[in-house]
């Protein structure tokens, strides 16, 4: 069974909050990695790796640097899960 978008958001939010060392309440789909959480490209790769492991998917490495918000990452994961 595919994960529902809310399940994907919850898992991605947890991973992002842990990497950024912030409370999950500070992470929303509109949250920007660089501007709001001060997550650099290495941090984003770490998040992407954890997301891949959690969902058993492979994200396109070329797309990862273009992901600017938590919601965009959730959308990318959802597209891979289909």
- Tell me the DSSP string of 63-74: TGGG--BHHHHH
Question: Phi and psi (nearest 5°) for 75?
Answer: -60, -40
Distance CA(5)–CA(55), nearest Å, equals: 12
pLDDT tens, the chain, 82 aa long: 457 778 999 999 999 999 999 999 999 999 999 999 999 999 999 999 999 999 999 999 899 999 999 999 999 999 988 7
Q: Angle at the Cα of 53 (from 73 to 32), degrees rounded to 5?
A: 25
Predicted TM-score of the model (pTM): 0.91
| CATH 1.10.1200.10 matches 5-66 | yes
Task: Tally Cβ neighbours within 10 Å of residue 42.
Answer: 8
Inter-residue contact 55 to 63 (CB < 8 Å): no
């Amino acid at each position: 069974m595919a994960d529902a978008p809310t399940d994907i958001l919850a898992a991605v939010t947890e991973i992002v909050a842990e990497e950024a060392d912030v409370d999950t309440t500070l992470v929303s789909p509109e949250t920007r990695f660089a501007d709001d959480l001060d997550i650099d490209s290495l941090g984003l790769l770490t998040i992407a790796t954890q997301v891949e492991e959690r969902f058993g998917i492979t994200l396109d490495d070329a797309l990862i640097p273009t992901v600017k918000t938590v919601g965009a990452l959730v959308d990318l994961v959802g597209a891979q899960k289909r």
